[in-house]
Amino acid sequence: MQHDSGTGNGAEDSAYVRFEDVQKSYDGETLVIKNLNLAIKRGEFLTMLGPSGSGKTTCLMMLAGFESTTHGAIWLHEQRIDNVPPHKRGIGMVFQNYALFPHMTVAENLAFPLKVRGMGKSETEERVNRVLSMVELPQMGDRRPAQLSGGQQQRVAVARALVFEPDLVLMDEPLGALDKQLREQMQFEIKHIHESLGVTVVYVTHDQSEALTMSDRVAVFNDGIIQQLSTPEVLYEAPDNAFVAQFIGENNRLLGEVVERTSDTEIRVKLETGETIRALPVNIDASTERTTLSLRPERVQINPPEGSMPNVLTGKVAEVIYLGDHIRTRLAVAGHDDFIVKIPNASGHPSLSEGEAASLGWTIEDCRALDA
Amino acid sequence: MADITADGYSPARDEEDEAQDKALTTADGTPLKISLRRSQARQRRRAFYLVAPLLAFLVVTFGWPIAQMTFRSIHNPEVANYLPETSAAIADWSGDDVPDEEVFAAMARDMKTGVEDRTIGRAAARINREIPGARSLVMSTARDVEEMSPPYRDAFLAEDEDWADLEFWRLIKRETRILTPAYYLLALDFEYNTRGEIVERPEVYQVYRLLFWRTAWMSMAITGLCILLGYPIAHLLATLPLRKSNLLMILVLLPFWTSLLVRTSAWIVLLQQQGVINDLLVWANIVGDDGRVRMIYNQIGTIIAMTHILLPFMILPLYSVMKTIPPSYMRAARSLGATQFTAFTKIYMPLTIPGLAAGVLLVFILAIGYYITPALVGGESGIFISNLIAQNMQGSSAQLKLASALATILLVAVLVFYWLFNKLIGVDRLKFG
């Protein structure tokens, strides 16, 4: 499947899909999407990530043409498409439960988009075979979808969305129905297909690890707003706000008051229990008083050498959970008893037992002061 | 991805398993299948006990009467039972000339027994049904038979010269058969002529074939109308938000909560020539007062009223199937480039076939045996075969055996229809509600 990339000039490539001031309301009283602006590059794998009800699926449906925009415009390849009916948009889509037509065989399912485009029989057959071997199901053309396993159905669904060679493919939580192992396998397969074909993919999921694994960029949705749009590394390492920090990966939260702005890269925060923590200000401005400190569980060091860490608190071990590769330890620290520390299951790391007291240390950069 | 068994499915492995199954035994050497059956026997027995009362009820109230009905429609015992000696004697009669003394003597003995047992009247009535006037011939001779002396042939002929009537004797000979197709012939507008050949009945008496045909085509028309009216409503029901669809569903079910008789009478009120619809038409100057439309007591009336009554039987199975079709199928079709129309005809319609087929089966089979509505609003031209079956079961001119034959034909027609339908669609795919 060759994709035409010769016609695109620089401007087009930078915004292959563009949401421009898009708003959406279902009932005329509340906005599900509040003023969305989003530009997706050609060939990019962009994931819309968020909890249910955050507006990510609505966004996708507006792009596919199944929901109308209440306000604003959607551009695809410099053409306004928000008033174009779905069958004329030429966008491939993979649905949550695959939506394979149960009364047709796999080959008929794959031939459907070609048939409605009036393609000849021999070419249709050739393309169907090509796409079947691409998803490595070359012998399955005569089966019905119900005779396939979940993973195979998933592949057929992907193949069907790609068989008419769209430049843009949308995926609405396509792996939600698969078990964990298969899901991880399919994540890589979809990623490889994306890389080898060069199609633009807009992917919707509520699974943050899926989003981090697959995406070039992730748009974190909450409450109808994109909270942060960035690469997976940045989202994890440098979340912009408390929601993103909480939603992406595991996170310890400590609430406190800003007592001193030492510099642009350091503030002092006084916790409710009186301890003072040195932290990195992220979205703290001059007037902010209360803040949430965000700290990744794997960045906490147990019993650090004296003076090696700028922040040290003591805690009491409340629970120890053995997880194989690491030991998840829950401690009571600074008035919270849900402070999690991940201790690698390897030599050189201490093992704690329940009721034991331990000192916990971390650096200034790892402790991010966010909005309260 | 190279290994398809990673997905838990491989055709090759399934075949291997099957081959192994055949040889499998339990630890003590009994074949696995036998021991599985044994272990499940208790469960099966319990299941049987649970359905046994219903099974017994059905056999007594459904199976047995149907068997009786079918048997009666061909059973013809009167002549053979009540004139046993005559039946034996007449077997050798050629049929070309008045029977000889042997037959008349047998008839005389039968009459004597018949008078004593008071059964001669039944035999006479049976013969009278085929040859009007035969009853009095038999009865009057039977009264005098005690005083007669051999040779009976001359005595009988002296009593009444009708005893020389060959038609009468041919009839007796024909009717000695215990089983007869005569009622089926009648039910299809055929009969035996005087020489015992099967011929069409005179055209003025022909009614049943016409009625069967009318019942069939009107049932088809009603089924077709139910599809046309029911399909969009079922679709609406399946796609509307729950609150609105519940209300609509109540409207669909409302007719079920009203007596059939009341609904049918309501149609009479609406459709009759002095009725609501005609009044409206006249009021709106669409028709003149003398040109009131005849919409009831004919085929139109039957079709309108029955379509209304049977509509829910089309809507409910359709709805139950449409409810299970996720909207993502249509969306998928649209995103793949199909227009709304193509998506509907290629994706949605084929998926509703199980419901459609179930609806057609229900409505058509119900319609073909419908009685009360055609009886009330059908008039002369809009009645069904079931109305004639009922007619043949009531009153002084009741012909129960003809009614049985008609009913059996109807039953067979329904079974044939069901069988054909099963061949075409597959009943296991149907969904009734």
C-beta atoms surrounding B105 within 10 Å: 18
Q: Which fold has domain A10-237?
A: Rossmann fold (3.40.50)
Burial A21-42 (b: 16+ CB within 10 A, else e): ebebeeeeeebbbeebebebbb
- pLDDT digits 0-9 by tens, B166-218: 888 888 888 888 888 888 998 999 988 877 788 898 888 889 999 999 999 99
Residue B16 burial class via C-beta count within 10 angstroms: exposed 0-12, middle 13-18, buried 19 and up: exposed
List chain A residues with pLDDT less than 70. 1-14, 286, 288, 372
pLDDT in tens, B143-174: 888 888 888 888 888 888 888 888 888 888 88
Strands A326-333 and A336-344 turn out to be antiparallel
Q: What is the reported pLDDT for A104? A: 93
Boundaries of every domain in chain B: 14-74, 79-176, 208-429
pLDDT tens by residue, B409-420: 999 999 999 999
Q: Average per-residue pLDDT in chain B?
A: 87
- CB–CB of B1 and A160 under 8 A? no
DSSP B429: G
Residues with Cβ within 8 Å of A182's Cβ and at least 6 positions away in sequence, in order, are A150, A151, B6, B7
Q: What is the pLDDT of residue B323?
A: 93
Residue B68 is predicted with a pLDDT of 92
Superfamily for B208-429? MetI-like (1.10.3720.10)
Q: What is the pLDDT of residue B158?
A: 86
Domain definitions of chain A by residue range = 10-237, 254-370
Q: State the nearest Cα–Cα gap between B426 and chain A, in angstroms.
A: 14
Q: With beta carbons under 8 A apart, name residues in chain A contacting B337.
A: 87, 90, 113, 116-117, 164
The pLDDT value recorded for residue A293 is 86
* B433 — pLDDT class (breaks 50, 70, 90): low
Strand partners, A319: A330
Name which residue leads in pLDDT, A195 or B6: A195
The answer to whether B328 contacts A182, with C-beta atoms less than 8 Å apart, is: no
Element holding B83 (H helix, E strand): none
* Set of chain A residues whose Cβ sits within 8 Å of the Cβ of B349: none
B334 and A102 in contact by Cβ < 8 A?
Answer: no
Closest CA to B300 of B406, B183, B361, B379: B379
One DSSP character per residue, A261-317 reads EEETTEEEEEETTS-EEEEEESS--TT--EEEEEE-GGGPEESPPTTS-SEEEEEEE
**Rg from Cα positions in chain A:** 25
Query: How far apart, in whole angstroms, are the C-alpha atoms of residue B224 and residue B173?
Result: 50
Q: What is the pLDDT of residue B342?
A: 94
Instruction: Verify whether the Cβ–Cβ distance A160 to B336 is below 8 Å.
Output: yes
Q: Does domain A254-370 have CATH number 3.40.50.12780?
A: no
Burial readout B268-296 (b: 16 or more C-beta within 10 A, e: otherwise):
eebbbeebebbeebbeeeeeeeeebeebb
Which is nearest to A280 in space by CA: A337, A335, A243, A239? Answer: A239
Q: Does the pLDDT at position B23 exceed 70?
A: no
Angle between helices B64-74 and B400-424 (to 10 degrees): 120
pLDDT tens readout for residues A171-181: 999 888 888 88
d(CA B429, CA B319): 15
- Given this model, what pLDDT does residue A14 score? 65
Nearest to B137 by CA among B146, B150, B128, B147: B128
Interchain CB distance below 8 Å, B9 and A86: no
B contacts of A160 (beta carbons < 8 Å): 332, 336
| Contact predicate A269/A304, CB 8 Å | no
B263 contacts B307 by C-beta, under 8 angstroms: no
What pLDDT, on the 0 to 100 scale, is given for residue B431?
Answer: 64
- According to the model, what pLDDT value does residue B430 have? 67
Which pLDDT does position B288 carry in this prediction? Answer: 85
Contacts of A186 (CB under 8 A, 6+ apart): A151, A154, A155, A174, A175, A178
Residue B407: band (very low, low, confident or very high) from pLDDT cuts 50, 70, 90: very high
Rounded distance, CA A189 to CA A134, Å? 10
Judging contacts by C-beta atoms under 8 Å, the chain A residues touching residue B6 are: 151, 182, 185
For this complex, say whether ipTM is above 0.90. Answer: no
Q: What is the rounded radius of gyration, in angstroms, for the C-alpha atoms of chain B?
A: 32
B366 has pLDDT over 90: yes
B1 has pLDDT over 70: no
Provide, rounded to the nearest whole percent, the portion of chain B with pLDDT above 90: 44
Distance from CA of A204 to the nearest CA of B (A): 16
Contact criterion met (CB < 8 Å) for B329 and A99:
yes
The pLDDT of residue A266 is: 84
Mean pLDDT of B78-83: 87
Dihedral angle computed from the Cα positions of residues A221, A226, A227 and A228, in that order, rounded to the nearest 10 degrees: 110
Residues of B in contact with A99 (CB under 8 A): 326, 328-329, 331-332
Q: Does residue B27 register a pLDDT over 80?
A: no
Average pLDDT value for residue range B243-264: 89
Query: Is the bond leading into B151 cis (omega within 30 degrees of zero)?
Result: yes
> B331 and A117 in contact by Cβ < 8 A?
no
Question: Considering only CB atoms, which residues of chain B are within 8 Å of chain A?
Answer: 1-2, 4, 6-9, 326, 328-329, 331-340, 342-343, 346-347, 350-351
From the list B180, B176, B171, the residue with the least C-alpha distance to B80 is B176
Q: What is the token pair recorded at A36? A: 């969305």
Residue B6 pLDDT grade (very low, low, confident, very high; cuts 50, 70, 90): very low
Structure token pair of residue B3: 């290994």
Distance (Å) from the alpha carbon of A257 to chain B's nearest alpha carbon: 49
- CA closest to A94 among chain B residues: B332
Give the CA dihedral B109, B111, B113, B115, nearest 10 degrees. Answer: -150
Euclidean distance between CA atoms A180 and B6, whole angstroms? 13
